[in-house]
Amino acid sequence: MSFVLFLISGATFGSILALLSSGYSLVYGVGGVINLAHGAFYLLTVYMIFWFVEGVILAYPLAIFVILLINVLAALGIYYAIIKPFQDNRLLYLISIVFGVIIYFGIGIISTFSLLNNAINFIYPLAIIVSLAFITIIGAISYYALIKPTHEHSEIAVMIVTFALAFFIEQGVLMYEGAKVGELQAITLDPLIPGTFRFFGALIAYQELLILIVTFSLLTLLILFIKKSKLGKSIRAVAQDKDAAQLMGINVNRILMVTVAFSALLAGCAALLYSPQTVIVPYSGWEYLLLSMSVVILGGMGSLPGSVIGAYIISYARSFTFLYIDLRLGYQFTGIIHLGIILLVLIMRPRGLLGKKERL
């Protein structure tokens, strides 16, 4: 591995770990929830995309689902951006309604005809949109069905039920894949942007460049969302003091549900971006769970900046191992190296790099 590849691979994998661990850290920082199904969300996203693409017959149902999703989002966007600001002026309010209805029907007609007429050609992007929507919904349902009833009793109970959920997802994937092909096979997804280019003599995939751009954008949006939006401020309030936030009229359960759902979405985005760079088997979820937990522990439980810094430290330690140790042995030493870094940091600073006594 050349030095340029060392820099690029470290940044690429670090970006994926930052995306994974940010969601995990957010859930712990807001609700004190240790979600052991986080890696299973990553795993399930990859397999859902793979199954949807493989079953081309699902192209039209997927297209219909995406059309409905586009129309719902368009209706919400038009209402909040065009109609709601003019509610105080009757004339402008009526004009904005007419204008909004015209835009809405335009979006609806274009999306319906284009997607239904080209459903087979759009199967991959359709599968991506539907899979990310499903994994977000699964995250929300898992909060209300599993985490909320057990979180009132103890954190151990939450760990048990989320572990059971992860195991259920793994075994479901394993049974379906094993029954389908007769034997277990590793899968991978097609890159979103195929091809490679030369950079200082090193061969770099466009997918790696996409990972860096999309991850930076998502993390920036996450920070702005938490700092600036009304919902983000509610999340911060719940993270600081649940009881005080509830007395101020904030629906704590809804906020916790949103954080778990958003965490599942971030895991899904990480899976979408990184799975074309590697192979996935039904057991892979545990690997990504352990990596995200390692990053969160290193950076400080509940600290988003700490998770990002910890992600790149562990990633570059992994790339350094591959650079100076034979590749076959490198995979065996990477776990030892990053475990050593975590132990060293925790000995010097038990709360992690940026961890505090209070959460988030």
Residue 176 in 3-state DSSP? helix
Residue 360 has pLDDT above 50, yes or no: no
> Cα(345)–Cα(18) distance, rounded to whole angstroms?
18
Asked if residue 354 belongs to a domain, the reply is no
Taking residues 324-328, what's their average pLDDT? 61
Residue 103 lies in a domain: yes
Instruction: Judge whether 10 and 312 are in contact, CB under 8 Å.
Output: yes
Which one is predicted more confidently, 328 or 16? 16
Compute the average pLDDT of residues 72-91. Answer: 82
The range of the structural domain enclosing residue 291 comes to: 3-348
3-state secondary structure 277-297: HCCECCCHHHHHHHHHHHHHH
Look at the chain and report how many structural domains it folds into.
1
pLDDT: which is higher, 336 or 102? 102
Of 39, 7, 59, nearest to 271 (Cα)?
39
| In a domain? residue 356 | no
Q: What is the pLDDT of residue 305?
A: 86
CA distance linking residue 16 with residue 32, whole number of Å? 23
User: Would the pLDDT of 50 be above 50?
Assistant: yes
The predicted model gives 240-263 an average pLDDT of 86
* 263 within 8 A of 23, measured Cβ to Cβ: yes
User: In the prediction, which pLDDT does 225 show?
Assistant: 86
**pLDDT tens digits, residue range 211-246?**
999 999 999 988 888 888 888 888 888 888 888 888
Mind listing the pLDDT tens digit for each residue in 115-156?
666 666 677 887 888 889 999 999 999 999 888 888 877 788
pLDDT of residue 280: 87
pTM here? 0.83
Mean pLDDT of the chain, nearest integer: 82
102 belongs to a structural domain = yes
Residue 167 lies in a domain: yes
Residue 201, sorted as left (phi over 0), alpha (psi -120 to 50) or beta, turns out to be: left
Q: Which of 150, 152, 141, 161 is nearest to 257 (CA)?
A: 141
Task: Please give the share of the chain, as a percent, with pLDDT higher than 90.
Answer: 18
